[in-house]
Amino acid sequence: MQLNLFPIKLEEAFMLSPKVKHFVFRAVCETPFIYQPGQFITIHFEKDGKKIRRSYSIANAPKGDNRIEFAAGFVENGPGTDLLFNLNVGDKININGPFGRLILKDPLPKRLILMATSTGITPYCAMLPTLEKALIANPEFNVILLQGVQHQTDKLYADILGDFAKKHANFSLRFYLSRENAPNTAQYEHKGYVQHALSDLNLNPDTDLVYLCGNPAMIDETFNILKEHHFETQHVIREKYISN
C-alpha cells in the first residue's frame, strides 16, 4: 500500500515544559498541506532496521502556509524521542496525513467540553480561531477546556489559553494537577485528576458534546463516567495517545 509520504523541514523547536518540546515544521511539497483543526500527522522513520510510525496532533490552526506544529513528550529510550529531540533546524523527516476524526462538528452543540492530558491539549489549540468565531457569534455557546497534568510546571500553552479565557466569558479554563496541590493564588488551577471535573459540570447528554484526547486510562475512565450519565457514543469524540 502506497503511503504518500512527503518531507517536512524543521524551522524551530523549544521546550514547553521540563519534558515536552514544541516543534515547528514546514511541509516541503508541491501542493498545499490541507487539514482540519484537531487532526494529526504520522511520522515514518527507521531505527535498528525496523520501520516505526509515531503520530502527533497538529497544534496550529490552518493558514495555508504549509506550517505544521506539534508537541512531543520526552520518553526515556523512546524511538520518537530519539528522533525528534535530536533534530537540528533544517533537518527533514517524512510524514503522511492528515488523519483523525477529532474535529469540530457542524452545527456546534450548546456546550462543548474539551478534556486532555499533557500533549493531548494540542488539537484544541488548533481549534481556537474557529471556537473564537463561534463564541463571539453565539453568546449562548459555551466551551469548557480541561487539561490534566502532574505538576504546575507541566502545564502546556497556559499563557495562550489563559489569554483566550480572559477574552471570552463563555470560555472556561481549568488545569488539574494530579501530584501537587494548586497554589491558593494560582488562576484556573485545581487539585486532582482531570476527570474529577465531571462531578461538578452538571453534565447533560442532550446538550453537551465531549472531546477526549490524551492518556488512554483517562479516556477510558471518562468514557465510562459519561456512559453512566447516558451519553451516546456519538456524543463522545475520543483520541488516545500512546507515548513511546
Residue 106 resides in a domain: no
Residue 12 resides in a domain: yes
Residue 28 resides in a domain: yes
Which grid cell is 44? 515514518
| One domain, residues 173 and 135 | yes
Indicate the pLDDT class of residue 2, thresholds 50, 70 and 90.
low
| One domain, residues 49 and 135 | no
Question: d(Cα 19, Cα 84) in Å, to the nearest integer?
Answer: 13
Asked whether 162 and 187 are in contact (CB, 8 A), the reply is yes
- Average pLDDT on 231-241 reads 91
Residue where one domain finishes, among candidates 59, 76, 99:
99
Those residues with Cβ within 8 angstroms of residue 85's Cβ, 6 or more apart along the chain or in another chain: 21, 72, 74
pTM reported for the whole predicted model: 0.94
pLDDT of residue 184: 64
Q: Which residue's C-alpha cell is 451519553? A: 231
Indicate the pLDDT class of residue 226, thresholds 50, 70 and 90.
very high
| One domain, residues 163 and 130 | yes
Domain count along the chain: 2
Peptide bond connecting 107 to the previous residue in cis, omega within 30 degrees of 0: yes
pLDDT, tens only, 180-215: 887 765 678 889 999 999 999 999 999 999 999 999
Q: Report helix, strand or coil for 130.
A: helix
Q: Please, is 239 exposed, middle or buried when counting C-beta atoms within 10 Å of its C-beta (0-12, 13-18, 19+)?
A: buried
pLDDT, tens only, 96-151: 999 998 999 999 999 999 999 999 999 999 999 999 999 999 999 999 999 999 99
| One domain, residues 89 and 135 | no
Q: Which residue's C-alpha cell is 508537541? A: 71
